[in-house]
Amino acid sequence: MIIEFPGTRGEIEESSAEHKYHSSLIIRYKKTSALIDFGIKYNPQLINKINDFDFILITHTHPDHYIWTLEDENRINIPVYLTRIALDYSKYKPKDYRIIKDSKEYRLKDLKVVAHKVTHSLRCPAVGYKIKGDKTLIYAPDILDFEEDKGVVFKDVDLLIADGSSLNINMVRRKDDRLYGHTRVKTIIGWCKKYNIGRLIVTHCGKQIVTMDKKELAGRLEEYTEGKINVIVAYDGYRMEL
Ligand SMILES: [Zn+2]
Ligand SMILES: [Zn+2]
Protein backbone atom coordinates (compact mmCIF):
# COMPACT_ATOMS: atom_id res chain seq x y z
CA MET A 1 0.00 0.00 0.00
CA ILE A 2 1.41 3.38 -0.97
CA ILE A 3 0.18 6.59 0.58
CA GLU A 4 0.87 10.12 -0.54
CA PHE A 5 -0.09 13.53 0.82
CA PRO A 6 -0.90 16.12 -1.89
CA GLY A 7 -1.67 18.59 0.90
CA THR A 8 -1.23 18.78 4.67
CA ARG A 9 -2.54 22.20 5.62
CA GLY A 10 -5.54 22.78 7.88
CA GLU A 11 -8.06 25.60 7.73
CA ILE A 12 -5.63 28.39 8.62
CA GLU A 13 -4.37 31.65 7.19
CA GLU A 14 -0.74 30.67 7.68
CA SER A 15 1.00 28.55 5.11
CA SER A 16 4.54 27.40 4.39
CA ALA A 17 6.32 25.63 1.55
CA GLU A 18 5.72 22.35 3.40
CA HIS A 19 2.08 22.98 4.23
CA LYS A 20 0.64 24.92 1.35
CA TYR A 21 -2.35 22.88 0.17
CA HIS A 22 -5.42 21.70 2.01
CA SER A 23 -5.05 18.25 3.51
CA SER A 24 -5.82 15.19 1.42
CA LEU A 25 -4.53 11.66 1.03
CA ILE A 26 -3.88 9.36 -1.90
CA ILE A 27 -3.96 5.59 -1.34
CA ARG A 28 -2.69 3.16 -3.97
CA TYR A 29 -3.19 -0.55 -3.49
CA LYS A 30 -3.13 -3.26 -6.17
CA LYS A 31 -5.12 -1.78 -9.06
CA THR A 32 -6.97 0.74 -6.95
CA SER A 33 -6.18 4.37 -6.36
CA ALA A 34 -8.29 6.54 -4.12
CA LEU A 35 -8.23 10.13 -2.97
CA ILE A 36 -9.59 11.32 0.36
CA ASP A 37 -10.85 14.92 0.47
CA PHE A 38 -10.63 17.63 -2.14
CA GLY A 39 -10.69 21.11 -0.63
CA ILE A 40 -10.65 24.62 -2.02
CA LYS A 41 -6.86 24.98 -1.97
CA TYR A 42 -6.10 21.63 -3.58
CA ASN A 43 -2.69 20.78 -4.94
CA PRO A 44 -2.82 21.89 -8.62
CA GLN A 45 -1.06 18.66 -9.62
CA LEU A 46 -4.22 16.80 -8.64
CA ILE A 47 -6.68 18.28 -11.07
CA ASN A 48 -5.23 17.11 -14.41
CA LYS A 49 -5.26 13.49 -13.33
CA ILE A 50 -8.23 13.63 -11.00
CA ASN A 51 -10.36 11.30 -13.12
CA ASP A 52 -7.62 8.65 -13.05
CA PHE A 53 -8.51 7.89 -9.45
CA ASP A 54 -11.12 5.20 -8.93
CA PHE A 55 -13.05 7.25 -6.41
CA ILE A 56 -12.90 10.06 -3.86
CA LEU A 57 -13.92 9.77 -0.22
CA ILE A 58 -15.00 12.88 1.67
CA THR A 59 -14.60 13.20 5.45
CA HIS A 60 -16.86 16.25 5.83
CA THR A 61 -17.96 19.35 4.01
CA HIS A 62 -15.84 22.08 5.53
CA PRO A 63 -14.40 23.86 2.46
CA ASP A 64 -10.82 22.80 3.25
CA HIS A 65 -12.01 19.21 2.56
CA TYR A 66 -14.82 19.61 0.08
CA ILE A 67 -14.70 22.15 -2.72
CA TRP A 68 -18.40 21.76 -3.53
CA THR A 69 -19.38 23.59 -0.36
CA LEU A 70 -18.36 26.79 -2.17
CA GLU A 71 -17.76 25.99 -5.83
CA ASP A 72 -19.51 24.06 -8.56
CA GLU A 73 -16.55 21.87 -9.56
CA ASN A 74 -17.73 19.94 -12.61
CA ARG A 75 -14.45 18.57 -13.99
CA ILE A 76 -14.64 15.59 -11.65
CA ASN A 77 -16.48 12.61 -13.12
CA ILE A 78 -15.41 9.79 -10.79
CA PRO A 79 -17.60 8.63 -7.87
CA VAL A 80 -17.42 10.85 -4.78
CA TYR A 81 -18.48 9.12 -1.58
CA LEU A 82 -19.88 11.03 1.36
CA THR A 83 -22.54 10.70 4.04
CA ARG A 84 -26.10 11.86 3.35
CA ILE A 85 -25.82 14.57 5.98
CA ALA A 86 -22.65 15.89 4.32
CA LEU A 87 -24.26 15.90 0.88
CA ASP A 88 -27.30 17.79 2.12
CA TYR A 89 -25.17 20.44 3.84
CA SER A 90 -23.57 21.88 0.74
CA LYS A 91 -24.77 24.18 -1.97
CA TYR A 92 -23.18 22.25 -4.85
CA LYS A 93 -22.86 18.53 -5.49
CA PRO A 94 -20.32 16.35 -7.29
CA LYS A 95 -21.63 14.94 -10.60
CA ASP A 96 -21.42 11.33 -9.45
CA TYR A 97 -21.99 11.45 -5.71
CA ARG A 98 -22.55 8.25 -3.76
CA ILE A 99 -23.93 7.98 -0.26
CA ILE A 100 -21.85 6.09 2.28
CA LYS A 101 -23.40 5.00 5.58
CA ASP A 102 -21.35 5.20 8.73
CA SER A 103 -20.08 2.08 10.55
CA LYS A 104 -20.74 -0.13 7.54
CA GLU A 105 -17.98 -1.88 5.60
CA TYR A 106 -17.90 -1.24 1.86
CA ARG A 107 -15.72 -3.00 -0.64
CA LEU A 108 -14.55 -0.35 -3.11
CA LYS A 109 -12.40 -2.11 -5.70
CA ASP A 110 -9.43 -3.60 -3.80
CA LEU A 111 -10.02 -1.65 -0.58
CA LYS A 112 -12.35 -2.21 2.36
CA VAL A 113 -13.66 1.08 3.66
CA VAL A 114 -15.58 2.02 6.82
CA ALA A 115 -16.68 5.56 7.70
CA HIS A 116 -16.58 6.10 11.47
CA LYS A 117 -18.38 9.10 12.91
CA VAL A 118 -16.18 11.60 14.68
CA THR A 119 -16.95 14.53 16.95
CA HIS A 120 -15.67 17.66 15.20
CA SER A 121 -18.34 20.09 13.99
CA LEU A 122 -21.93 20.59 15.13
CA ARG A 123 -23.23 21.91 11.80
CA CYS A 124 -21.08 19.83 9.53
CA PRO A 125 -20.76 16.26 10.90
CA ALA A 126 -17.55 14.45 10.01
CA VAL A 127 -16.26 10.92 9.65
CA GLY A 128 -12.82 9.33 9.76
CA TYR A 129 -12.09 6.49 7.34
CA LYS A 130 -10.72 3.08 8.26
CA ILE A 131 -9.18 1.61 5.13
CA LYS A 132 -7.93 -1.89 4.70
CA GLY A 133 -5.71 -3.36 2.00
CA ASP A 134 -2.81 -5.56 3.10
CA LYS A 135 -2.39 -3.06 5.95
CA THR A 136 -4.99 -1.05 7.79
CA LEU A 137 -4.95 2.70 8.26
CA ILE A 138 -7.25 5.33 9.68
CA TYR A 139 -7.53 8.81 8.19
CA ALA A 140 -9.10 11.35 10.53
CA PRO A 141 -7.82 14.82 9.60
CA ASP A 142 -10.38 16.72 11.69
CA ILE A 143 -11.24 15.07 14.96
CA LEU A 144 -12.04 15.83 18.55
CA ASP A 145 -12.83 12.17 19.27
CA PHE A 146 -14.42 9.10 17.72
CA GLU A 147 -18.07 8.65 18.56
CA GLU A 148 -17.69 4.87 18.71
CA ASP A 149 -15.58 2.96 21.20
CA LYS A 150 -11.96 3.51 20.19
CA GLY A 151 -11.19 -0.06 21.24
CA VAL A 152 -13.33 -1.16 18.29
CA VAL A 153 -12.31 1.54 15.81
CA PHE A 154 -8.58 1.11 16.50
CA LYS A 155 -8.60 -2.69 16.36
CA ASP A 156 -5.79 -4.01 14.11
CA VAL A 157 -4.73 -0.58 12.89
CA ASP A 158 -1.16 -0.30 11.56
CA LEU A 159 -1.16 3.44 10.98
CA LEU A 160 -3.19 6.36 12.27
CA ILE A 161 -3.18 9.56 10.21
CA ALA A 162 -4.73 12.33 12.24
CA ASP A 163 -5.38 15.95 13.05
CA GLY A 164 -2.45 18.36 13.50
CA SER A 165 -4.58 21.44 14.18
CA SER A 166 -2.99 21.75 17.61
CA LEU A 167 0.08 20.21 19.21
CA ASN A 168 -0.89 20.91 22.80
CA ILE A 169 -3.22 23.90 22.97
CA ASN A 170 -6.87 23.43 23.78
CA MET A 171 -9.08 23.74 20.65
CA VAL A 172 -12.17 22.20 22.18
CA ARG A 173 -15.28 24.36 22.07
CA ARG A 174 -18.64 23.88 23.74
CA LYS A 175 -22.19 24.81 22.75
CA ASP A 176 -24.78 23.90 25.36
CA ASP A 177 -23.50 20.50 26.45
CA ARG A 178 -22.02 19.50 23.09
CA LEU A 179 -18.32 19.60 22.40
CA TYR A 180 -16.72 20.30 19.05
CA GLY A 181 -13.38 21.36 17.55
CA HIS A 182 -10.07 19.53 17.40
CA THR A 183 -8.15 17.38 19.80
CA ARG A 184 -4.42 17.82 20.37
CA VAL A 185 -1.59 15.79 18.88
CA LYS A 186 -0.52 15.11 22.47
CA THR A 187 -3.88 13.41 23.09
CA ILE A 188 -3.72 11.47 19.80
CA ILE A 189 -0.30 10.11 20.83
CA GLY A 190 -1.97 8.99 24.07
CA TRP A 191 -4.57 7.06 22.00
CA CYS A 192 -1.76 5.35 20.05
CA LYS A 193 -0.12 4.26 23.29
CA LYS A 194 -3.34 3.02 24.83
CA TYR A 195 -4.55 1.13 21.77
CA ASN A 196 -1.16 -0.14 20.56
CA ILE A 197 -0.90 1.75 17.29
CA GLY A 198 2.80 1.91 16.51
CA ARG A 199 2.72 4.57 13.80
CA LEU A 200 1.21 8.01 13.63
CA ILE A 201 1.36 10.56 10.81
CA VAL A 202 0.21 14.07 11.63
CA THR A 203 -1.52 16.03 8.84
CA HIS A 204 -4.05 18.92 8.60
CA CYS A 205 -1.42 21.06 10.29
CA GLY A 206 -2.57 24.11 12.20
CA LYS A 207 -0.89 27.38 13.07
CA GLN A 208 1.08 25.96 15.99
CA ILE A 209 2.78 23.20 13.98
CA VAL A 210 3.21 25.26 10.80
CA THR A 211 4.95 28.10 12.65
CA MET A 212 6.90 26.14 15.27
CA ASP A 213 10.65 25.71 15.11
CA LYS A 214 11.39 22.23 13.72
CA LYS A 215 13.75 21.21 16.51
CA GLU A 216 11.30 22.29 19.17
CA LEU A 217 8.53 20.34 17.45
CA ALA A 218 10.70 17.22 17.23
CA GLY A 219 11.55 17.57 20.91
CA ARG A 220 7.91 17.84 21.95
CA LEU A 221 6.93 14.79 19.88
CA GLU A 222 9.78 12.81 21.40
CA GLU A 223 8.63 13.83 24.87
CA TYR A 224 4.99 12.83 24.22
CA THR A 225 5.77 9.50 22.54
CA GLU A 226 8.49 8.52 25.07
CA GLY A 227 10.06 6.72 22.12
CA LYS A 228 7.13 4.28 21.96
CA ILE A 229 5.37 5.57 18.85
CA ASN A 230 6.86 6.25 15.44
CA VAL A 231 5.45 9.70 14.69
CA ILE A 232 6.13 12.06 11.84
CA VAL A 233 4.56 15.27 10.59
CA ALA A 234 3.61 14.91 6.92
CA TYR A 235 4.36 17.66 4.40
CA ASP A 236 2.94 18.38 0.96
CA GLY A 237 4.27 15.71 -1.40
CA TYR A 238 5.24 13.26 1.35
CA ARG A 239 4.95 9.69 0.16
CA MET A 240 5.57 6.37 1.88
CA GLU A 241 5.05 2.68 1.44
CA LEU A 242 3.15 1.08 4.28
ZN1 LIG B 1 -10.25 20.87 8.19
ZN1 LIG C 1 -13.40 20.54 9.65
Q: Distance from the CA of 223 to the center of ligand 2, in angstroms?
A: 28
**What pLDDT does 20 receive?**
98
Task: Compute the mean pLDDT over every residue in the chain, rounded to the nearest whole number.
Answer: 97
Confidence class for position 199, pLDDT limits 50, 70, 90: very high
pLDDT, tens digit, 9 for 90 and up, residues 99-150 = 999 999 999 999 999 999 999 999 999 999 999 999 999 999 999 999 999 9
Predicted confidence (pLDDT) per residue in 67-88, tens digit: 999 999 999 999 999 999 999 9
Q: Is residue 240 part of a domain?
A: no
Q: What ligand has the least distance to the C-alpha of 65?
A: 1
The pLDDT assigned to 72 comes to: 95
In the reported structure, the alpha carbon of residue 134 is separated from the centroid of ligand 1 by a whole-number distance in angstroms of 28
Q: What pLDDT does residue 24 have?
A: 98
217 C-alpha to center of ligand 1: Å? 21
pLDDT digits (tens, 9 = 90+) for 26-72: 999 999 999 999 999 999 999 999 999 999 999 999 999 999 999 99
Give the model's pLDDT for residue 3: 98
pLDDT at 208 (0 to 100): 97
pLDDT of 126 reads 98
What residue numbers bound the domain in which 132 lies?
2-235
How far does the centroid of ligand 1 lie from the alpha carbon of residue 192, in Å?
21
pLDDT band at residue 23 using 50, 70 and 90 as cut-offs: very high
Residue 209 confidence class, pLDDT cut points 50, 70, 90: very high
- Look at residues 146, 91, 88 and name the one whose alpha carbon lies nearest to residue 115: 146
Percent of the chain with pLDDT over 90: 99
Report the number of distinct structural domains present in the chain.
1
More confident position, 177 or 3: 3
Does 140 fall in a domain? yes
Whether 241 maps to a domain, the answer reads no
CATH number at residue 122: 3.60.15.10
Query: Does residue 110 lie within any of the structural domains?
Result: yes
In a domain, 89, yes or no: yes
| pTM for the model | 0.97
- Convert the chain into a string of H (helix), E (strand) and C (coil): CEEEEEECECCCCCCCCCCCCECEEEEEECCEEEEECECCCCCHHHHHCHHHCCEEECCCCCCCCEHHHCCCCCCCCCCEEECHHHHHHCCCCCCCEEECCECCEEEECCEEEEEEEEECCCCCCEEEEEEECCCEEEEECCCCEECCCHHHHCCCCCEEEEECCCCCCCEEEEECCEEEEECCHHHHHHHHHHCCCCEEEEECECHHHHHCCHHHHHHHHHHHHCCCCEEEECCCCCEEEC
Whether 78 is covered by a domain: the verdict is yes
Distance CA 69, CA 122 (A): 16
The residue type at 154: F
Specify whether the CB–CB gap between 102 and 84 falls below 8 A: no
- For residue 132, tell me if it sits in a domain: yes
For residue 242, tell me if it sits in a domain: no
Separation of CA 141 and ligand 1 centre (Å): 7
What is the 60 CA–ligand 2 centroid distance (Å)? 7
